[in-house]
């Protein structure tokens, strides 16, 4: 049996693609943790983290406008504020390194956002997607805080890791 080796980014993209194909969003399986030897590159981390913040903000704007559930709307407002702040920190640190985060979603995140917008059970899909995205973001920030190649971005990742944990905890309450 021959094993296929995937880069961390390819493995996460494949896992998100498979998760995005699920017909029952409440049963989304989180992508596996992929351990990459050596440091993560600042450019890859910045691209992934910026896209994760952007999808969180855009999905939460949808939730704030579409949901009739006050708890979902409250959570969405907190996500908009929290991830806008995280994106600003990331952008500031990236500029210090000469790296600018993209203002566009990665294709996998755009696909997830499109699926959310089309969901007939929006609140359930939003909560499920939030859990999935925050678990992926927590792993990304944890990995970068531990093994990232930029001393400028590692503290940003550590801070984001703490915020992601708080967001996951808050999600359990809605």
- What angle is formed at CA 25 by the lines to CA 36 and CA 107, rounded to 5 degrees? 50
48 burial (CB, 10 Å; 0-12 / 13-18 / 19+) is buried
Residue 47 and residue 34 in contact, taking contact as beta carbons nearer than 8 Å: no
CA 72, 76, 77, 81 dihedral sign is positive
Residue 54 and residue 87 in contact, taking contact as beta carbons nearer than 8 Å: yes
pTM of the model: 0.75
Residues 6+ apart with CB under 8 A from 46: 90, 94, 99, 101, 153
Instruction: Please state, as a whole number, how many other Cβ atoms lie within 10 Å of the Cβ of residue 42.
Output: 21
pLDDT tens, the chain, 174 aa long: 344 444 554 444 444 443 444 444 444 444 444 444 557 899 999 999 999 999 999 999 999 999 999 999 999 999 999 999 999 999 999 999 999 888 899 999 999 999 999 999 999 999 999 999 999 999 999 999 999 999 999 999 999 999 999 999 999 888
């Amino acid at each position: 049996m021959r094993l296929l080796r995937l880069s961390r980014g390819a493995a996460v993209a494949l896992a998100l693609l498979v998760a995005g194909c699920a017909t029952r969003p409440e049963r989304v399986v989180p992508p596996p943790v992929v351990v990459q030897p050596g440091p993560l590159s600042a450019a890859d981390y910045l691209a992934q983290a910026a896209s994760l913040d952007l999808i969180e903000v855009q999905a939460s704007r949808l939730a704030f406008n579409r949901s009739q559930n006050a708890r979902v709307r409250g959570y969405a407002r907190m996500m908009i504020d929290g991830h806008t702040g995280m994106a600003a920190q990331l952008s500031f640190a990236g500029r210090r390194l000469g790296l600018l985060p993209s203002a566009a979603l990665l294709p996998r995140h755009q696909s997830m956002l499109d699926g959310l917008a089309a969901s007939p059970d929006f609140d359930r899909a939003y909560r499920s997607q939030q859990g999935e995205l925050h678990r992926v973001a927590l792993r990304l920030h944890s990995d970068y805080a531990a093994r990232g190649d930029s001393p400028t971005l590692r503290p940003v990742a550590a801070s984001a890791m703490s915020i992601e944990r708080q967001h996951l905890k808050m999600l359990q309450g809605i």
